[in-house]
Amino acid sequence: MGGLSAEREISLQSGQAVLAALLANDIDAIGLDVGEDAMNQIQQANCDRAFIALHGRGGEDGVMQGALEMLGIPYTGSGVLGSAISMDKLRTKQIWQAMGLPTPACKVLTANSDWAAIVDELGLPLIVKPVHEGSSVGMSKVDSVAELQDAYTVAAEYDNEVFAERWITGKEYTTAILLDEVLPMIRLATPNQFYDYDAKYLSNTTEYLCPCGLDSEVESALQQLSRQAFKAVSAHGWGRVDLMLDEEQQPWLIEVNTVPGMTDHSLVPMAAKAADISFKELVKRILQTSM
């Protein structure tokens, strides 16, 4: 847990919750707040397997997975390839597009982009995102050409790759996947412009609706779409797929999270609870993905 990414504090919260649940399961577990000397820390811990509760770069992007592969230590969740692709929002979208799966149109931005041309192509509003960040870090909604360059500058503080994505007006949902099971979907409702960092971790005004309010046939279809999107990027074990349903009831895939949050505000534990899976049991099942 912990690590060096922009999501360090959330990772520490997730890690502490997971550690408590592992110990409650009578599992001989220790917590490692990994830093720049992560390889030595892990080797010195002399563990049989690793529960990865690292969010963001260095932990969720294939780097830690590759390190554990080198050390011969089994670990939870997706492997190197699935982790690396899923952390890269742009390549994830390109794979979905190639497979004909619905995801909003986007355009890569640079400091020299023709901002007016971007808006002409994608329309307004837009959302600007760093390619390799999670937890909505560095993301901005753009309502005019004049705002686009500023949004790019904000995102570029976090990543050297940035893209603009067509804004989808509609309802936001998330689908948790645990082993071969697709858990009940959750609808997210926030008074913020979108489900941003504040809405995810700090706000008490965010609503989490589970049951999500969709007809069972619609929910089932979206769950299967989520499973397909998850497998498309070589993700496995456990994770979460975020998507939106626009005003015409058209689904749009947004992103995949291969190490979702495990805090008291987190979505996978909520979905598990709706499926009568306690947090303690959820953590045990996630650990089984390392077997």
Three-class SS of residue 291? coil
201, 226, 237, 239: the active-site residue: 201
Residue position matching structure tokens 């926030």: 190
Catalytic residue status for 7: yes
Catalytic residue status for 255: yes
Catalytic residue status for 257: yes
Catalytic residue status for 135: yes
3, 161, 240, 266: the active-site residue: 240
DSSP state of 227: H
Q: Tokens standing for 246?
A: 């626009």
133, 147, 161, 242: the active-site residue: 242
Distance of alpha carbon 276 from the chain centroid: 23
Tell me the β-bridge partners of 75. Answer: 50
DSSP state of 178: E
Catalytic residue status for 9: no
Contact 155, 129 (CB under 8 A): yes
Catalytic residue status for 160: no
Residue type, 159: D
83, 135, 136, 140: the active-site residue: 135
58, 77, 138, 261: the active-site residue: 261
How would you classify residue 2: left for phi > 0, otherwise alpha for psi between -120 and 50, otherwise beta?
left
List active site positions. Answer: 7, 135, 201, 240, 242, 255, 257, 261
